[in-house]
Amino acid sequence: MRLPLKAEIFAARAVGGLSRLAGTGGGTTIPGKLLWKLDPDAIDRLAGRLPRGSVLISATNGKTTTAAMVAEILGNETRLAHNRAGANLVSGVASALLDAERAELGLFEVDEAALPEVARRLRPRAVCLVNLFRDQLDRYGELELVAGRWRAAVRTLDPEASVVVNGDDPQLGDLASERERAVVFGLDDVRWSRPSLQHAADSKYCIRCGTPYEFAAVYVGHLGDYRCPACGHAHPRLDVVARNVELAGLDSASFDLETRKGTRRVRLRVPGLYNVYNALAAAALTQTMEVGLEQIQTGLERFSPAFGRFERITLGDRSVLMLLIKNPAGANEVVRTLVDAGVPPVLLVALNDGIADGRDVSWIWDVDFEPLFEHGLERLVASGDRAAELALRFRYGGFPAERIEVVPSFGDALDRGLELTSAGGELAVLPTYTAMLALRRIVSERGFVRPYWERAA
Partner 1 sequence: MKIRVGHLYPDYLNIYADRGNIAVLAQRAARRGYDLEVCAIGVGDDARVGEIDLYYIGGGQDREQALIAPDIAGKGPGLGEAVAAGAAVLAVCGGYQLLGSSYRDRQGAELPGSGLLPLHTVAGERRMIGDVLLQCEWAGRTLAGFENHIGRTHLEGGAEPLGRVLAGFGNDGSSGFEGCRVGRVVGTYLHGPLLPRNPWFADWILAEAAAHQLGEPPVLEPLNDELELLAHSVSAERARTRGGRY
In the complex, the residues that contact partner 1 under the rule CB under 8 A are 134, 137-138, 141-144, 199, 204-205, 210, 212, 353, 359-366, 385-386, 388-389, 391-393, 395-397, 401, 406
CB of 375 to partner 1, least distance (A): 20
**CA gap 95, 108 in Å, rounded:** 11
**CA gap 143, 202 in Å, rounded:** 8
CB of 18 to partner 1, least distance (A): 30
HSE-CB at 136 with a 13 A cutoff on CA atoms is 20
Pick 3 or 209: Cβ nearer partner 1:
209
Structural contact between residues 167 and 130, judged by C-beta atoms closer than 8 angstroms = no
Pick 125 or 393: Cβ nearer partner 1:
393
Structural contact between residues 453 and 83, judged by C-beta atoms closer than 8 angstroms = no
Listing DSSP states for 77-138 in one string gives TS-EEE-TT---SHHHHHHHHHH-TT-SEEEEE--TTTHHHHHHHH--SEEEE-------HH
In the three-class reduction of DSSP (H, G, I as helix; E, B as strand; rest coil), residue 188 is classed as coil
**CA gap 360, 141 in Å, rounded:** 12
Pick 111 or 353: Cβ nearer partner 1:
353
CB of 28 to partner 1, least distance (A): 25
Q: What is the largest CA-CA distance in the chain?
A: 66
CB of 400 to partner 1, least distance (A): 12
Pick 309 or 386: Cβ nearer partner 1:
386
Pick 7 or 145: Cβ nearer partner 1:
145
> Among candidates 204, 184, 169, 55, which has minimal Cα distance to 119?
55
Pick 345 or 397: Cβ nearer partner 1:
397
CB of 320 to partner 1, least distance (A): 26
Helices assigned H by DSSP within 75-134? 90-99, 115-122
Q: How far is CA 29 from the centre of its chain?
A: 19
CB of 143 to partner 1, least distance (A): 7
Pick 145 or 457: Cβ nearer partner 1:
145
CB of 356 to partner 1, least distance (A): 15
